[in-house]
Structure 1
Amino acid sequence: MPRKRFTVEQIIQKLREAEVELARGKTIGLVCKQLGITDQTYYRWRKEYGGIRTDQAKRLKDLEKENARLKRLLADAELDKAILKEAAFGKLLSPVKRCQAVTYVRNTLGPEIVSERRACRVLGQPRSTQRREPYLPDDEPRLVKRMIELATQYGRYGYRTIWGMLLLEGWKVNHKRIERLWRREGLKVPKKQPKRRRLWLNDGSCVRLRPGYKDHVWSYDFVQDRTSDGRSFRMLVIMDEYSRECLSIDVARRLNSEDVLERLSDLFIQRGTPNYIRSDNGAEFTAKKVRKWLERVDVKTLFIEPGSPWENGYVESFNGTLRDQLLNGEIFDTLLEAKVLIERWRREYNTIRPHSSLGYLPPAPEAIAPCLPASATLQLANKDTDNHLGTVT
């Protein structure tokens, strides 16, 4: 005979019937036989539900259900807490990290305790993303290899500059993919520079007068470094603000206003004169002979406010790049070595290195002809004239 289960209400009702029959003088065995239960069941029921009314039994049943529900919620909360505790090894900002966290949590706490559904829900990972098989493009190994080669060759370039160089080489790749591979390979990501508040801007500031076309505004400045013997040398940097092209870097132990005039005259012969030339208030730039000579050749001077290098931002940014990517990583034994390496870096900067403000193109992709001094230019011109006259004769 199959075992029958009774509800709490049925049990209390049978106990009431048993009490009535016992009051009539019947024995317990006869009453249990009449109710269809055993003596042991009767005594167990009377111990658990004796003296309880039906409404009290319903209330007790509801309390038991509520207690079971609260226990289940507490167990779920503790399990979620354990999942978060196991996965608390960093911010889970990417699907890849969340996928790794889900797998790690299930392996640590046990797949029979933590299901994939629960782990994904707690860690905020869609199950479709968790189960998606990663797709590896065919060109990714070659791309990573080339990216590492460029990062090794140009150690201070960030991923955006490397991305620009890859575009110039013909790679069809998104900058976000390069950033992902860059971080995956553990390459350096340059920190962002903090913004600076401008206190004032005078008429010579690069914010008030921005370059509008090539050879519109030039700027020049001095940079100082030392050779391995401790002796200092100076560099005169001249650049075109619009194209970001570095026109020249003169290297010498000493540079004065005469050297500034000589270099400017060579560049004016080679490229023509700009409309404006911007500089700080150094003695070499504010010298009377320099200002008068620039006035005679119809070049207007722009002097920034003293103590405000951000007003000459184009050349200051270039100086920072020069120091970060070359000067800080090289030890110059002689002045000649410094001249050769700095000139090589200048050509690389103009023809190879992508510039973010130019759409990740180099400032001067075409080959750069060497800057000849004025005397050499005149000698070549005289030689060409003599050859021409000899041919006519």
Structure 2
Amino acid sequence: MRKKALSPAARREEAQRLSASGLCSARAACRILQLARSTYRYRGRPPTEQEEALHRRLQELSERHPRYGYRRIAALLRQEGWKAGKRLVQRWRRNAGLRVPPTRRKQVRRGVSTGLPTKATHRGHVWTWDFIADATVRGGALRMLTILDEYTRECHVLQADRALKSKDVLDWLGRAIQVHGAPEHLRSDNGPEFIAKAVQQWLKDRGVKTLYIEPGSPWQNGFVESFHGRFRDECLNREQLHTLTEARVVIEDYRQQYNQRRPHSRLGYLSPESFAQKELPSPVAVGLRPPSTGDGQTNTNQQPSTSA
């Protein structure tokens, strides 16, 4: 059998094929397929002219609306005055091979995290990066790359361009690393610029562990999302940016003002740069030894005693 025969009509068709091919008699085919011989000999009446016209109209509507299911096609037929139930339309469409295939769910590409979910505990521990989009007054696209330190909230990069690819992302990340040093972890979503193999290999070569959030979960990257909310409210929604050059100047001015002067409520109303300077350890004076941790501190110059 070429396919599983379930309905009496399908089993009748299969029995007729077996009998016509000479593999067995009609009686044996009915016995094998558990089909009554009266059903085997049954011949349906030919369709009436009205049914043929209805079938042609069903074909026309199905070709015009290929994504409509049998319920919508039946509703259109009834609106035109045809007497057609949804089960009849469903059966005719199934026999004609007009079933609408289900929509395949898009496979979401995901990056491979090389580090465990981490909360920033010191400067340079976890950086986060993401994109924010806007447009100039003339309708030109603006895409901005943001690189943020999750602990100090310092915005290391806020670069605007018409388009930013993975190569551009690596260029700006490399500049930030030259100035501020490489972070231990880098958090991002699963955008194609961030999960590109070249980006992941570049980060691996520099010992930066990647932290990719779950698809469709922007709250897992809350630091940069919060910054983008403030950035849009305090800058993008207040400025009219006519050209890309003007946008770059305005956006860089905002980045400087955000880092140096804007009080941050989570930092005790200090600016990110002031908080970062406060958190940095003070250098030890030359010639002075750091204070001892207690009487139980071991002397590293003392040779260990050996017991017999």
TM-score by length of 2: 0.51
Structure 2 CA distance, aligned partners of 1:218 and 1:367? Answer: 14
* Local SS of the residue matching 1:251: strand
Structure 1 CA distance, aligned partners of 2:275 and 2:192? Answer: 35
Structure 2 residue 218 is the aligned partner of structure 1 residue 309? yes
- Return the letter of the residue paired with 2:191: G
2:181 aligned partner:
272
2:171 aligned partner:
262
Cα-to-partner distance string for 1:150-209 (whole Å, 9 max, x where unaligned): xxxxxxxxxxxxxxxxxxxxxxxxxxxxxxxxxxxxxxxxxxxxxxxxxxxxx97xx952
Whether the aligned pair in 1 keeps the contact of 2:124 and 2:183 (CA below 8 Å) is yes
Structure 2 CA distance, aligned partners of 1:219 and 1:275? Answer: 11
2:127 aligned partner:
218
Structure 2 CA distance, aligned partners of 1:366 and 1:245? Answer: 9
Q: Size of the alignment, in residue pairs?
A: 164
Structure 2 CA distance, aligned partners of 1:293 and 1:216? Answer: 18
1:235 aligned partner:
144
Cα-to-partner distance string for 1:119-172 (whole Å, 9 max, x where unaligned): xxxxxxxxxxxxxxxxxxxxxxxxxxxxxxxxxxxxxxxxxxxxxxxxxxxxxx
1:365, distance to aligned residue in structure 2 (A): 3.4
Structure 2 residue 155 is the aligned partner of structure 1 residue 246? yes
Whether the aligned pair in 2 keeps the contact of 1:351 and 1:366 (CA below 8 Å) is no
Structure 2 CA distance, aligned partners of 1:367 and 1:359? Answer: 12
What is the correspondence of 1:181-220 to structure 2 with a 5 Å cutoff? Answer: 208-220=117-129
What is the correspondence of 1:296-375 to structure 2 with a 5 Å cutoff? Answer: 296-365=205-274
1:336, distance to aligned residue in structure 2 (A): 0.6
1:128 aligned partner:
none
**Which sections of structure 2, spanning at least 5 residues, go unmatched?**
1-111, 278-308
- Return the letter of the residue paired with 1:296: D
2:192 aligned partner:
283
Structure 1 CA distance, aligned partners of 2:140 and 2:206? Answer: 36
CA gap of 1:339–1:367, structure 2 versus 1, over 3 A, is farther
TM-score by length of 1: 0.40
1:373 aligned partner:
none
* Local SS of the residue matching 1:329: coil
Whether the aligned pair in 1 keeps the contact of 2:148 and 2:155 (CA below 8 Å) is yes
Whether the aligned pair in 2 keeps the contact of 1:234 and 1:254 (CA below 8 Å) is yes
Structure 2 CA distance, aligned partners of 1:208 and 1:303? Answer: 9
Whether the aligned pair in 1 keeps the contact of 2:152 and 2:276 (CA below 8 Å) is no
Structure 1 CA distance, aligned partners of 2:178 and 2:272? Answer: 21
* Local SS of the residue matching 1:364: helix
- Return the letter of the residue paired with 1:331: Q
Whether the aligned pair in 1 keeps the contact of 2:123 and 2:276 (CA below 8 Å) is no
- TM-align CA RMSD: 2.1
Whether the aligned pair in 1 keeps the contact of 2:146 and 2:158 (CA below 8 Å) is yes
* Local SS of the residue matching 2:179: helix
From the CA coordinates, give the structure whose radius of gyration is larger: 1
Structure 2 CA distance, aligned partners of 1:277 and 1:367? Answer: 19
CA gap of 1:366–1:338, structure 2 versus 1, over 3 A, is farther
1:268, distance to aligned residue in structure 2 (A): 1.3
What is the correspondence of 1:21-170 to structure 2 with a 5 Å cutoff? Answer: none
1:366, distance to aligned residue in structure 2 (A): 9.3
Structure 2 CA distance, aligned partners of 1:366 and 1:348? Answer: 14
Structure 2 CA distance, aligned partners of 1:367 and 1:264? Answer: 20
- Bigger proportion of residues as helix: 1
Structure 1 CA distance, aligned partners of 2:275 and 2:187? Answer: 26
* Local SS of the residue matching 1:365: helix
- Return the letter of the residue paired with 2:147: I
Structure 1 CA distance, aligned partners of 2:179 and 2:252? Answer: 18
